[in-house]
Amino acid sequence: MIEACSSREKSRQQREIEDLRSRLGEAEETLRAIRQGEVDSLLVSTDEGDRIYTLKSADYFYRALVEQMGEGAVTINEDGAILYCNRRFAQMLALPLEQVMGDDIRSLIAPHDRADFYAMLLSKTDERREMETALVSADGKLIPVRLSLSFIPYETPPSFCLVVTDMTESRKREDELREAQDNLEQRVARRTADLVAKKEELEKEVTERKRAEEALIISQKHLVHLFTVIPTVVYTLDPESLAITWVSPNIMRVLGYTPEEALKPGWWRQHLHPEDREKAMIAGGEIRAKYHVELEYRFKKKDGEYIWIRDELLMVPDARGNPVEIVGARIDASERRQMEEQRRKLEAQLYQARKLEAIGTLAGGVAHDFNNLLTTILGHAGMLLMELRKDDPLYEDMIEIKKAGERGADLTRRLLAFSRKETRRPELLDLNETVGEMEKMLRRLIREDIELVISPGRDLGPVYMDPTQMDQIIMNLVVNARDAMPDGGTLTIETANVELDRAYFWEHGIENQPGSYVMLAVTDTGIGMDEETKAQIFDPFFTTKDRRTGTGLGLATVYGIVKQNRGYIWTYSEPGQGATMKVYLPRAGEVLEPRRSGDMEAEGGLTGTETILVVEDNEQVLSMTLKILDRYGYRTLAARAGDEAVRVSRDFEGKIHLLLTDVIMPGMSGKELAERLRSERPDMKVLFMSGYTQNIIIQKGVLPADIHYIQKPFSTEGLARKVRESLRD
């Protein structure tokens, strides 16, 4: 019986070897015809239909076939030098592939068979020659193999194709079978009775197994369908090389790549975000030790967009605990990350609001009590001054007491404004008129080395607020801008009507109502502020000035007044780039209701299908801008810096109709980027954007006057209108 098993095993192996030889012969014949120019392409029938492969693809698949063979494949010349070998052959010898290439094949064959092998080479017959021998591995061990040699006469110079079959396992199994034969014959008799008894049990088991196989087939079909619709990309890895061996078909819907693309070597690493690549590679490599790894990173989709991926890997062991396969699952985590970032912003806003509210409540209580004291002091000082003559020695002292009391009253008013408890007398105001009336006073307030520029908006809507409070806002902002320019500069006051939508407030984590606002912007060309300073400028008693000259209540007072009038104040500044303070106050007579998405969709005149390259170094602003443009039907390309935008433009073969770029960015500026891309794409339109106002950008010489420009923050409709305007011109 052992001999029968051994015979069947040998027959099976022989059939497999003959089948491989037949396939290899067909491949060799096809390759010969291709190399001799007899064919230009191949027609291959598959389950998915006929496919046509060109010479290049045929060579690729031929090489892929050879590399996947279980046998070694070697090409040698007439002298026995190795011209090519696959990795399996190098693995047999336990040598690096590079070391095997160029070696003499005869030096690798057992010494006693080298003469016979050389005789095979000299024969140069068209018939396939075979022999069994042994290879000498790197550590000196002899590896039993079967050699199949074919002469390739159409190569120049002629060469040989050698198929090397490792016979180690086959010989080992033969020895094991012979060793087990004696024991088996002794056990056959005993097992025969048991087999008869278990016949019915086995028949039942076979029936149940068939049912299980049928159920498995159904389950696999359901699983394939599930992988098509779920948002999670499932894949498997080789536990040794960590190469992707299988990926679910929904990868094309989630990431845009085909499964075939994902199986290419290095595909995953190549599309990792440069800043996340090293961290992700290290974390992914820990799967061998931890057996379970979770990581998050940014990954580039096929359309060029980077998204956040949450990746979870699990090592699957066999019954003995040895790694068999790694199963992974990747899901788009961008929305969750955005929600977490938004929650963080909202928590910070809430904390800041509660802190200011608490300080404001305290300041308001103190101010009210202090007002009572000042009333008494100023009242008595006034009465005493009425009684004293100007030549009285105490007269000047009383004047100083009164001045001190008035300064205290001014400080109290600031505290009350900050705490939002100051009594208001609101009325309809035209900010252009208010600024115009204050111009002379403001010019006296600033130094001679500072130029005051006033840019009033056209058809400015009114605001409903206390004129005194409006004066306080303008005065404090102008004084703050003046002090930020110790060496002189330009101070610009601008007004404009603006539309702020829900997307703007959501992006900035502000609890305000979308609608129509009037903007007051005060811009200086001074020293600017870093992020740490900007986070504290509205805190009461925070000042960057000398404690003897600054109270730290100027901007806190502005903040309190703006919030008291249901407005919002926003700061844009970078170190060395000056600063812009923007105050948004509700436009009087407007209902501050959010616009419905249907209204936006009805504005067909704002939609388009052109391609727009958006360049913005702020991730949140870039994401919001892309979403707005996508909403209006545009095709978008994204870049986070000038050099990346140049690469995106060169890689994109279609027409780019519009470049929408930030003005001030690290490295290449928006102006430099536009000039560079326009030299390559002269028909491309350009639209600049910045947190600074257009007047300031032009005054600084950053951009010429005759450009398309949109100021941050912009509303959804505002951006759409400006894009259409830029594309039409």
- pLDDT, tens digit (0-9, with 9 covering 90-100), for 273-291: 998 888 888 877 788 777 8
The mean per-residue pLDDT over the stretch 407-422 comes to: 56
By mean pLDDT, which of 205-209, 374-378, 659-663 is the weakest? 374-378
Report yes or no: 689 and 661 within 8 Å, Cβ to Cβ: yes
pLDDT at 207: 81
Question: Is the pLDDT at 211 greater than 60, yes or no?
Answer: yes
More confident residue, 183 or 53: 183
* 2 or 522: which leads in pLDDT: 522
- In angstroms, the Cα distances linking 493 to 89, 104, 205, 474, 523 are 79, 85, 89, 9, 7
CA-CA distance, 181 to 163, in Å (whole number)? Answer: 32
In whole angstroms, what is the distance from residue 294 CA to residue 314 CA? 9
User: Is residue 462 over pLDDT 70?
Assistant: yes
Residue carrying the six token digits 């007004």 = 495
> What's the mean pLDDT when you consider all of the chain?
79
At residue 364, the 3 state secondary structure works out as: helix
Q: In this structure, are strands 41-46 and 463-465 parallel, antiparallel, or unpaired?
A: unpaired
Residues 6+ positions from 534 with CB-CB distance below 8 Å: 571, 573
Number of other CB atoms surrounding residue 633 within 10 Å? 13
Is 50 exceeded by the pLDDT of residue 54?
yes
Describe the strand order of the beta sheet including 685-690 as a list of residue ranges. Answer: 635-639, 611-615, 658-662, 685-690, 708-711
More confident residue, 682 or 52: 682
Mapped onto helix, strand or coil, the DSSP state of residue 494 is strand
Both tokens of 708, joined, read: 């398309």
Smallest CA-to-CA distance from 125 within 96, 158, 93 is with 158
Given this model, what pLDDT does residue 614 score?
Answer: 94
Confidence of residue 335 (pLDDT cuts 50, 70, 90): confident
Mean pLDDT of 370-385: 63
Q: Which residue has the higher pLDDT, 506 or 68?
A: 68
Question: Where is average pLDDT lowest: 130-144, 557-571, 655-669?
Answer: 557-571
Residue 651 clears pLDDT 90, i.e. is over it:
yes
The token duo for 585 is 């106050």
Q: How far apart are CA 439 and CA 442, in angstroms?
A: 5
Is the Cβ–Cβ distance between 555 and 537 less than 8 Å? yes
Return the pLDDT at 496: 92
pTM above 0.85, yes or no: no
Lowest-pLDDT range of 487-501, 565-579, 625-639: 565-579
Task: Let me know if 475 is exposed, middle or buried by CB neighbors in 10 A (0-12, 13-18, 19+).
Answer: middle
**23 has pLDDT over 90:** no
Residue 398's CB is within 10 A of a number of other CB atoms, namely 18
Q: In this predicted structure, what is the pLDDT of residue 557?
A: 79
Residue 363 is predicted with a pLDDT of 59
More confident position, 319 or 722: 722
Amino acid (one-letter) located at 328? G
Q: Please tell me whether the peptide bond between 713 and the residue prior to it is cis, using omega within 30 degrees of 0.
A: yes
- Return the pLDDT at 595: 39
